[in-house]
Structure 1
Amino acid sequence: MPALSETYACVPSTERGRGILISGDPKSDSVLYTNGRSVVILDLNNPLNVSIYGEHAYPATVARYSPNGEWIASADVSGTVRIWGTHNDHVLKKEFKVLSGRIDDLQWSPDGMRIVASGDGKGKSLVRAFMWDSGTNVGEFDGHSRRVLSCAFKPTRPFRIVTCGEDFLVNFYEGPPFKFKLSCRDHSNFVNCVRFAPDGSKFISVSSDKKGILYDGKTGEKIGELSSDGGHKGSIYAVSWSPDGKQVLTVSADKSAKVWDISEDGNGTFKKTLDCPGSGGVDDMLVGCLWQNDHIVTVSLGGTISIFSASDLDKTPVQLSGHMKNVSSVAVLKGSPQYILSSSYDGLICKWMQGRGFCGKVQRKQNSQIKCFTAHDEEIMTSGFDNKLWRASFKDDQCTDEEAIDIGHQPNDLSRALLSPGLVIVTFDSGVVLLRGGKVASTVNLGFNVTASAIAPDGTEAVIGGQDGKLHVYTVSGDTLTEEAVLEKHRGAISVIRYSPDLSMFASADLNREAVIWDRVSREVKLKNMLYHTARINCVAWSPDSEKVATGSLDTCVIVYEVEKPASSRMTIKGAHLGGVYGLAFTDDSHVVSSGEDACIRVWNLTSL
């Protein structure tokens, strides 16, 4: 049966003007963050060691390890908290509806008995603390009038809870049962994050007013501030204490991360600005941070995770990145080592190395959205929503000689003849455009609604699929298309067509969840009854030896068929991607790469026992 070989994780979901929360398990150097409905567990020492929890019904917002590391509490935009096991298939322990709106932060009490959560209560409760095993409330949290962006539990007795939010307030509660003690009105803008020092003696709040303020952990009284010398020039979105409680890390919209020394009396003096490599654009704003053991972690608005060494702040950080949105296509570049390119509709193309993971983002001058994507050797082609086909040479992660070819229509599929360089067909809703050498050779109106297309690698034939489920086979001669046959087998609109590498077959699939393999010469069905998905098929890929076909579907599964065996002897990869599979490619005859709605990319070994 197929086995998961590698996962290239999505990056954290971010939102402009908001901080995000990443948290960690100090015992294992694993961090938690969220993207869509996924909670990602990532090992900072080995980024290919990834585990993903996808059981939330709504987009997840925050996740935290329990003090003993055995449980994870994660929350979502519906106000639900789920508590599940760190190991053993992430078994669900409890689920509670905590708030009536989005949860922005949650934290365990140091004894692991209670959880506090804060967020948007739609006019009702904005903060709740409850027993983790029963859901029983442990206090009343009055005092906030707007969304509560952050909350923290004092890590030592006597227990205290501190909260902050969009009403510019920092509120302090004593308990349990917890009750309001005092409000601090020292900030003049949103208070984005509040955190206790590891020993509980102090806590710090950071705000969009560019200030960090320190308070006594037991009384809640203000004791100091981060100095304005060397301070941030933009909103401070997140803060994290060093394990010894003598320093803090802050990140800001000014695209910098700063380390501060905290004195015993509670004042912060600037120590160092950490240099996060980037292009200097909006995506380089820093929105999340975590100080975990010797790792200092920052997250940018574009999702890039930078990992610094706390013991050597001058050392160049390790950078991890990837996709934040649905990865709609993947392509494998020939050569050794094996590289994989992936694209998402927001215009991002990432490069990955099998066995290593993220290798960089492909730099394009034209960062337009991507609807169709193809890559071969050193050339990339994309089409978006601007009626253009973009063609670029690709070398050393840079796109050069970028040129736009105006198709005159909105492209819905593109296919290139790999053995006939320069020959490309681009289909639009009612016809096809034939390109030769980067120039439009002809535009043909076909008289039916076109939904998918493929040109044979040798450039002599094209198959074009329609809304009516019919496949039209054309010979390509010069700049003209001549219809040779119409194949009828599908009962839904054609979604994808792919030729086999040996040119002897082609595969087609439809929105009615069926795939068919055809013999190219006789045009007879070669493998039928490929009806095992439960939703539309989005993508199809052939193995290099033309002996296997893989299909990916909205039903989250990948199914691999062997052409010479009956369809019933298929291999099924269940739950390959939360939300559906949108991209497929074989790296060799026994490994298939998949991508999907969850913004992740996975490599599967088909020969594992």
Structure 2
Amino acid sequence: MSYTKGKLWPCNPSTTRGASTKLSASGSKIVYTNGTTVVDPAGNSTYSGHIQPTTVARFSPSGYYCASGDVTGTVRIWDTVGADNILKNEVKLGFKINDLEWDGESKRIITVGDGKNSLGAVFTFDTGNSAGEILGHSKAINAVSIRHQRPFRAVTASDDTQIGFFQGTPYKYVKTIKSHSRFVQDVRYAPSGDFFASAGADGRVFLYDGKEGELVAELTEGAHASTVMACSWSADSKSLVTSSTDCTVKLWDVETRKIVNTWTVGSDISSQQVGNTWAKDDIVSLSLSGDLNVFDRRDTGRPHQIIYGAQRGITAFTVAPSGTLYAGAYDGRVVSFSDNGAEAIHGDGHTSQVTALAVSDTKVFSTGFDDCVREIDAGAFTSTATGTNGQPKGAACDADVVYVITSKGLECIKGGKAVSKLSLGYGPSAVAASSKIIAVGAEDQKVYLFEKAAEPKQVGKLESNKGTVTALAFSPDGALLAAGDSTGRIVLYDVEKKEVKTSRWTFHSARISSIAWTADGKHAASGSLDTHVYIWSVEKPMRNIAIKNAGAGGISGVAWVGTNVVASAGADGCVRTWEIKFHE
């Protein structure tokens, strides 16, 4: 048995209200960060070499390397060619990285940010040796850009309302430019090097001469009504796009200094635009919600595409009979994934962490820390919402009945109403349902079996687990029950005999979060906090497939899509598929 890597549905960029989020592109490829992960959607890959949350990543002009920085001041330069992402160099700078930029020769990197003793640094990417100094600012530096033609120039944008102008190499401070009256959020050089632009919290956008740093013009016609978070140049240096917290994206003609197009994304806080870049001829602007809005420069109106994804860690995961995957996240968002892409589930959803997802033939049910069970139908939350008498910890579904374990017991919900509530004398921690039996895993390391009825009746107890039971799954025919626990061990039980069929599924090293069966009941997949996914065989218990490091931060859910494709989701907000080869 073996596996091959399949599709990646990436997380969306992380955002912070009131702060600019840096997006970077190389041709049609975009790179951005979320948590400790650097995401390259076009390359179907992620990079997880950072230990602390990342803040910015940019491809080198050559395209062979990517540099990424994090909140601790660590910059990692890694190879983009090949699946191994070999580390070229790591430089520790001692200040939070807000932005970084490569020079035109792909040799030097300027990093800027916020630190007690330093706000910026210049170094060679392969040795880490100093290649200049970043001086002249008194507050955090938000952005940096480098002229890629000789003579080299660099500019920085800061919270001190000023722009720093530098010449190189080595890079030396030349002067301070005082155009803005509030924080300067972004500054970018045109690819031609003739101009650079700045954008600030005063809602103003300025153009400057690329060689001397002299002010050329202010773009005033139809200016933004509030903070301009980002600006970005087209490849031909003739157009500039700006994104603002006024929820608009504006395209400017640099020669005439006039607006070519204005797009309004929305009107609420989540629609504030906090970052942008060009992906070849398309404009990509980032909403505070994490949605990536793709615009065609020739079209007016709304974006012609919106790229959805989880923005926080995925905490619940399931698959519908149609093969569509559903993921619920820490922030309450639910996203569906299919061959058509990712779609956000809109409507009156959860206001806090999604704790479980369960499916029937036609609907998806979700539970959350808002103590509520909600229905998802036709890609949206319905108006049906059922309150629970405690905080939901898990859910399972059989036909049209949802079985929810809460901090107080087991509840059976049908048609939006609780038809029974059973108090338990132990702390429930996992639940699963077959056509006849409800299984409840507990903190006392036992699995309790209940016969389905108007009032579920306990009919047995399984006691071979060695830790809190954290994941349960019945085989499709209901004959077997896989029970994973907090020690990383999975015990396979014969339900009718109430005996252990095998206790050899023991290769995980941390808490089991999810178990899923193949349709024929011959294999099961498991995901764990140890970041690994394992494929187990019922007939040959000692045979397994180990998908190591399947998701940074841990796996929270696994599900089978078809007969030989398993999907996994986890703390990094990404959903991945793996093609399993059972017979070789």
TM score, norm. by length of structure 2: 0.95
Matching of residue 357 in structure 1 with residue 341 in structure 2: yes
Following TM superposition, by how much is the alpha carbon of 1:436 offset from its aligned partner in structure 2, in angstroms?
4.2
Task: Provide closer, same or farther for how the CA distance between residues 117 and 182 of structure 1 changes in structure 2, counting only shifts above 3 A.
Answer: same
Q: Measure how far apart 1:312 and its partner are.
A: 5.6
The aligned counterpart of 2:575 is: 601
Aligned to 1:138: 131
Distance 1:33 1:92 in 2: 18
Alignment of 1:245-260 (within 5 A): 245-260=237-252
Cα distance, 1:436–1:23 mapped onto 2, change above 3 Å: closer
Deviations 1:157-204 (A, max 9, x none): 111111111111111112322222111121111100001112212211
- Paired with 1:388 and 1:109, the residues of 2 have a C-alpha distance of 52
Tell me the distance in 1 between the aligned counterparts of 2:119 and 2:497: 68
Among residues 204, 210, 223, which one is paired with 1:231 in the alignment? 223
Tell me how far apart the structure 2 counterparts of residues 52 and 134 of structure 1 sit (CA, whole Å).
25
**Conserved in 2, the CA contact under 8 Å of 1:294 and 1:311?**
no
How far did residue 387 of structure 1 move?
2.8
Distance 1:81 1:191 in 2: 23
Residue 235 of structure 2 aligns to which amino acid in structure 1? P
User: Could you say what secondary structure the match of 1:377 adopts?
Assistant: coil
Match of 1:290 in 2: 277
Mean CA deviation greater in 307-316 or 129-138:
307-316
Code of the aligned partner of 2:403? I
- Match for 2:377 among 394, 398, 402? 394
CA distance in 2, matches of 1:570, 1:343: 28
Structure 1 residue 440: Cα displacement: 2.5
Residues 378 and 393 of structure 1 are in contact (CA less than 8 Å); yes or no, is this contact kept in structure 2?
no
Aligned length: 580
Give the match for residue 18 of structure 2. Answer: 17
Quote the residue 2:470 is aligned against. 495
The corresponding residue for 1:270 is: 259
Change in 2 beyond 3 A, CA 1:314/1:368: closer
5+ long unaligned stretches in structure 2: none
State the partner residue of 2:392. 411
Q: 1:393 to 1:302 in 2, by over 3 A?
A: closer
Post-superposition offset of 1:291: 2.0
Q: 1:40 maps to which residue? A: 39
Distance 1:63 1:97 in 2: 15
CA distance in 2, matches of 1:281, 1:544: 44
Per-residue CA distance 1:131-167 (angstroms, 9 max, x = gap): 2222121222221111100011112111111111111
Q: In 2, distance between residues paired with 1:478 and 1:469?
A: 27
Corresponding position of 1:340: 325
Matches within 5 A, 1:525-604: 525-566=500-541, 568-604=542-578
2:452 aligns to what SS in structure 1?
strand
**CA deviation digits over 1:18-39, x for unaligned, max 9?**
111111112xx21111111111
AA aligned opposite 1:497: L
Letter in 2 for 1:97: K
Partner of 1:511: 486
Relative distance call for 1:596 and 1:393 in structure 2 (3 A) is closer
The CA deviation string for residues 342-379 of structure 1, in whole angstroms up to 9 with x for no partner, is 2113121112213x422x21112233222222232332
Extract unaligned runs of 5+ from structure 1: 44-48
Q: 1:344 to 1:393 in 2, by over 3 A?
A: closer
Alignment of 1:97-136 (within 5 A): 97-98=92-93, 100-121=94-115, 123-136=116-129
Q: C-alpha separation between the residues in 2 aligned to 1:429 and 1:246?
A: 60
Question: SS at 1:95's partner residue?
Answer: strand
Q: Distance in 2 between matches of 1:160 and 1:85?
A: 26
Distance 2:111 2:518 in 1: 49
The equivalent residue for 2:88 is 93
1:59 counterpart residue number? 53
Question: 1:446 & 1:261 partners in 2: Cα distance?
Answer: 68
Partners of 2:410 and 2:105 in 1: how far apart? 66
Instruction: Name the counterpart of 1:46.
Output: none
1: CA distance between counterparts of 2:301 and 2:239? 17
1:68–1:480 Cα change, 3 Å: closer
Question: In structure 2, how many angstroms separate the alpha carbons of the residues matched to 1:372 and 1:332?
Answer: 12
- 2:227 aligned with 1:240: no
Structure 1 residue 90: Cα displacement: 1.1
2 CA distance for matches of 1:477 and 1:191?
65
Q: What RMSD in Å do the two structures reach over aligned CA positions?
A: 1.8
The CA deviation string for residues 56-87 of structure 1, in whole angstroms up to 9 with x for no partner, is: 11111111111211111111111011111111
TM-score (norm 1): 0.92
Letter in 2 for 1:469: Q
Q: C-alpha displacement at 1:212, in angstroms? A: 0.5
SS in 2 for 1:364: coil
Partner Cα separation in structure 2 for residue 413 and residue 310 of structure 1: 46
Deviations along 1:479-515, one digit per CA (max 9) or x if unpaired, are: 242x322221111101011111111111111001100
In 1, Cα distance between equivalents of 2:242 and 2:376: 40
> 1:388 touches 1:408 (CA, 8 Å); kept in 2?
no
Match for 2:347: what amino acid?
Answer: R
Pair 405,97 (structure 1): closer, same or farther in 2 beyond 3 Å: same
Contact 2:96 2:114 in 1 (8 A): yes
Q: Distance in 1 between matches of 2:387 and 2:60?
A: 56
Q: 1:182 to 1:367 in 2, by over 3 A?
A: same
For residues 240 and 146 of structure 1, the distance between their equivalents in structure 2, rounded to whole angstroms, comes to: 23
User: How many Å apart are 1:129 and its aligned residue?
Assistant: 0.9
Query: What one-letter code is carried by the residue in structure 2 that aligns with 1:233?
Result: A
User: In the alignment, is residue 175 of structure 1 matched against residue 153 of structure 2?
Assistant: no
